[in-house]
């Protein structure tokens, strides 16, 4: 399969994001905050870039189990096989998702998806970079049953694509439809951090699993969104890996060997008895609750917006053409996209280190175009989209954009009263 379904319909996702954003602006609905949405999309881009190195290995494992141990020989031409595969894939997704909330090591891989304190279509794209690795064991029974790899892959991708529309505040309850299918109302509950909403509504496509296994909760008032210990950072790296670090530190600090192991398989919030009380989700005072935010000068805001769209465009090229790009160009493009997004998060937190890192990134791009002969004219799919002259000019354009950006950002930094004068925020959870 040359391209997966998620990649094919990604443009549709962005169209829907724009539609919801316009509805939010003209309908005076507080659905979007710029920094939070950028952070959501950055997490999604991180996941897509890392997926290149993970998905092939995971599908190889599934295919090996299917070839060696598959009990049945289900044909790709069997419509009954497709129906059963989709329903069973959704069933196993329910259990992966439930374990992802009830066991620490799985929660560490999934927590990034729940960190946003807003709820809009960009949250659907906010994913953990390691969650595919942790989900694979739950799907291997499908391989054992004999569902072909291509059938499984398409079914699980359709399942994920279905879940995109669930991430919105704009759609109300949908009546009888909710008895069978998952809906935005049910999924809003799942993203709530009110104590009564936590660990509810794990469904992917079919809501029946929650009703069958006792995890269903109807939406009453709209939830407060996010996690029990809200993130206090815009760093895309910290959001991905902070909970792994938290578990490692708990395991390291406890003096009981049994607890060093239990830390990883206990529910989120659990602590060894020698390290204090376990975390109990607190009630939220809606009259005093405030979302995490930072305030930055308009110059930095405009700069960050511009660089994010450059990074977004580069990530789209990476996703679309990664298999056709030469290895060095592919690795360099992925690395610089990730570096760009990390720097933007640091700039949102007013960190001088982030601005200096961004200046180094820009200078390295300009220097790299001098010493390495980038050549995109051999990428057949690119030549079908852009004229050869444009492709030949791309390295020069990269250098020019990097140098202009360098002088704009450098000028801002020098304009401060002291060179290292910008107060920064420390990434943390509260």
Predicted confidence (pLDDT) at residue 422 exceeds the cutoff of 50: no
Distance between CA atoms of residues 129 and 348, nearest Å: 22
Q: What pLDDT is attached to residue 426? A: 56
Where is pLDDT greater, at 84 or 383? 84
Structure tokens at 216: 């269903």
Contacts with 114 (C-beta within 8 Å, 6 or more apart), sequence order: 191, 226, 227
Q: What pLDDT is attached to residue 417? A: 59
Give the Å distances, CA to CA, from 139 to 52, 61, 99, 113, 229.
Answer: 20, 11, 13, 20, 30
Predicted confidence (pLDDT) at residue 196 exceeds the cutoff of 80: yes
Q: Are 93 and 159 in contact (CB under 8 A)?
A: yes
| Nearest alpha-carbon partner for 81 in 168, 169, 162, 154 | 154
Q: What pLDDT is attached to residue 425? A: 53
Instruction: Among 85-94, 147-156, 203-212, 350-359, name the one with the lowest average pLDDT.
Output: 350-359
Distance between CA atoms of residues 429 and 421, nearest Å: 25
Q: What pLDDT is attached to residue 117? A: 96
Give the Å distances, CA to CA, from 376 to 222, 380, 387.
Answer: 49, 9, 11
Structure tokens at 260: 């060093």
Contacts with 384 (C-beta within 8 Å, 6 or more apart), sequence order: none
Distance between CA atoms of residues 254 and 98, nearest Å: 27
H runs (alpha helix) in 254-297: 257-265
b/e for 94-126, b at 16 or more Cβ within 10 A? Answer: bebbbbbbbbbbbbbbbbbbbbbbbbbbbbbbb
Q: What pLDDT is attached to residue 388? A: 84
Residue carrying structure tokens 């700069």: 303
Contacts with 195 (C-beta within 8 Å, 6 or more apart), sequence order: 281, 282, 283
Residue 133 pLDDT grade (very low, low, confident, very high; cuts 50, 70, 90): confident
Judged on CB neighbours under 10 Å (0-12, 13-18, 19+), 423 is exposed
Find the mean pLDDT for residues 81-88: 97
- Per-residue model confidence as pLDDT tens digits over 158-181: 999 999 999 999 999 999 999 999
Q: Are 230 and 117 in contact (CB under 8 A)?
A: yes
351 by DSSP, 3-state: which? coil
Instruction: Among 249-263, 276-290, 357-371, name the one with the lowest average pLDDT.
Output: 276-290
Distance between CA atoms of residues 309 and 322, nearest Å: 19
Q: What pLDDT is attached to residue 149? A: 95
Q: Are 403 and 362 in contact (CB under 8 A)?
A: yes
Residue 353 pLDDT grade (very low, low, confident, very high; cuts 50, 70, 90): confident
Distance from chain centroid for Cα 320: 18
Distance between CA atoms of residues 203 and 303, nearest Å: 40
Phi-psi region of 173 (alpha: psi -120 to 50; beta: other; left: phi over 0): beta
Distance between CA atoms of residues 45 and 125, nearest Å: 8
Structure tokens at 70: 């598959």
| Nearest alpha-carbon partner for 292 in 342, 336, 249, 349 | 349
Can you give the pTM of this predicted structure? 0.90
Distance between CA atoms of residues 4 and 41, nearest Å: 19
Residue 325 pLDDT grade (very low, low, confident, very high; cuts 50, 70, 90): confident
Q: What pLDDT is attached to residue 361? A: 96
Structure tokens at 312: 């977004």
Q: What percentage of the chain has pLDDT greater than the value 70?
A: 96
- Kindly report the number of other CB atoms within 10 A of residue 6's CB atom: 18
Residue 330 pLDDT grade (very low, low, confident, very high; cuts 50, 70, 90): confident
Instruction: Among 20-24, 88-92, 130-134, 253-257, name the one with the lowest average pLDDT.
Output: 130-134
Distance between CA atoms of residues 368 and 331, nearest Å: 14
CA 12, 40, 381 angle in degrees (round to 5)?
45
- Helical axes 34-69 vs 327-348, angle rounded to 10°: 140
CA 57, 60, 66, 68 torsion: positive or negative? negative
Predicted confidence (pLDDT) at residue 323 exceeds the cutoff of 60: yes
């Amino acid at each position: 399969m040359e391209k997966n379904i998620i990649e094919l319909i990604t443009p549709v996702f962005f169209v829907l994001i724009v539609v919801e954003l316009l509805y939010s602006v003209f309908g005076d609905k507080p659905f979007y905050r710029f920094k939070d949405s950028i952070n959501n999309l950055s997490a999604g881009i991180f996941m897509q870039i890392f997926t290149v190195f993970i998905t092939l290995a995971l599908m190889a494992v599934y295919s090996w189990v299917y070839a060696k141990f598959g009990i049945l020989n289900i044909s790709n031409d069997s419509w009954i096989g497709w129906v059963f595969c989709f329903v069973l894939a959704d069933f196993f997704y329910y259990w992966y998702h439930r374990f992802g909330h009830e066991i620490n090591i799985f929660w560490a891989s999934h927590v990034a998806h729940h960190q946003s304190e807003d709820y809009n279509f960009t949250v659907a794209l906010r994913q953990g970079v390691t969650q595919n690795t942790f989900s694979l064991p739950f799907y291997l029974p499908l391989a054992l049953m004999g569902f072909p790899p291509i059938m499984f892959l398409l079914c699980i991708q359709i399942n994920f694509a279905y879940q995109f529309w669930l991430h919105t505040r704009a759609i109300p309850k949908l009546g009888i439809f909710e008895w069978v299918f998952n809906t935005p109302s049910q999924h809003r509950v799942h993203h709530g951090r009110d104590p009564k909403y936590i660990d509810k509504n794990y469904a992917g496509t079919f809501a029946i699993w929650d009703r069958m296994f006792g995890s269903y909760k109807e939406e009453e008032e709209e939830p407060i969104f996010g996690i029990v210990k809200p993130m206090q950072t815009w760093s895309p790296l910290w959001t991905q890996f902070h909970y792994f670090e938290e578990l490692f530190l708990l395991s390291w600090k406890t003096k009981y060997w049994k607890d060093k192991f239990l830390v990883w398989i206990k529910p989120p919030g659990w602590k060894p008895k020698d390290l204090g009380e376990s975390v109990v989700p607190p009630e939220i005072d809606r009259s005093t609750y405030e979302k995490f935010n930072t305030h930055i000068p308009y110059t930095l805001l405009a700069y960050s917006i511009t660089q994010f769209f450059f990074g977004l465009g580069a990530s789209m090229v990476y996703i679309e053409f990664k298999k056709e790009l030469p290895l060095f160009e592919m690795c360099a493009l992925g690395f610089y996209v990730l570096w760009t997004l990390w720097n933007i998060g640091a700039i949102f937190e007013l960190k001088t280190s982030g601005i200096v890192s961004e200046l180094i990134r820009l200078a390295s791009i300009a220097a790299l175009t001098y010493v390495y002969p980038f050549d995109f004219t051999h990428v057949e799919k690119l030549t079908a989209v852009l004229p050869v002259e444009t492709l030949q000019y791309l390295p020069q354009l990269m250098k020019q954009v990097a140098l202009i950006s360098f002088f704009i950002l450098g000028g801002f930094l020098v304009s401060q009263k002291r060179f290292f004068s910008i107060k920064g925020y420390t990434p943390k959870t509260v």
